[in-house]
């Protein structure tokens, strides 16, 4: 399952960040995900719930901001937004293979509380 492995690596990042910032619990994780990363938000949230059980990120809300796919035509030196996965330069009609964005998956921020009490 695609989302499960993503959730797992996401959890690793979150736990590492939480440790670095001495967070006792993580309330919210904000992500940026490219439209081509082929991630189903509901599925990722579900998987994250599963893998984060009994960790500092247990019960954290996942907020996903999706990033449009953009590509660049070498010939015209134009960047454009790719719609409906048509990788074609809007100016010259050449197929474009160079992608600028759309596959990324970034953790933008993590919100939580320092766990001095409660553990």
Query: Considering CB under 5 A, how many residues would be counted as binding Zn ion?
Result: 6
Choice between 4 and 76, CB closer to Zn ion: 76
Q: What is the DSSP string of 21-87?
A: TTEEEEEEEEEEEEGGG---HHHHHHHHHHHTTTSTTTT-EEEEEEE--EEEETTTTEEEE--TT--
Q: Which residues ranging from 29 to 88 are in contact with Zn ion (CB under 5 A)?
A: 73, 75-76
CA distance 46 to 3: 9
CB 89 within 8 A of CB 45: no
Q: How far is the CB of 78 from Zn ion (least distance, A)?
A: 6
Single out the residue of 80, 25, 28 nearest to residue 55, CA to CA: 25
Nearer to Zn ion, 81 or 104 (CB): 81
Give the binding range for Zn ion (CB under 5 A) out of 13-21, 28-36, 56-64, 90-98: 90-98
Binding status of residue 89 toward Zn ion by CB under 5 A = yes
Contact status: 15 vs Zn ion (CB under 5 A)? no
In whole angstroms, the minimum distance from the beta carbon of 89 to Zn ion comes to: 3
Contacts with Zn ion, residue ranges (CB under 5 A): 73, 75-76, 89, 91-92
């Amino acid at each position: 399952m695609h989302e499960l492995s993503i959730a797992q690596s996401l959890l690793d990042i979150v736990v590492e960040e939480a440790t670095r910032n001495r967070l006792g619990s993580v309330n919210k994780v904000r992500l940026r995900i490219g439209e081509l990363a082929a991630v189903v938000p509901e599925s990722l949230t579900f998987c994250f719930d599963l893998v984060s059980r009994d960790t500092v990120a247990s019960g954290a809300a996942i907020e996903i901001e999706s990033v449009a796919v953009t590509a660049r035509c070498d010939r015209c030196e134009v960047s454009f937004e790719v719609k409906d996965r048509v990788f074609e330069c809007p100016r010259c009609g050449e197929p474009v293979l160079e992608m600028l964005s759309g596959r990324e998956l970034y953790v933008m921020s993590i919100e939580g509380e320092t766990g001095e009490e409660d553990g």
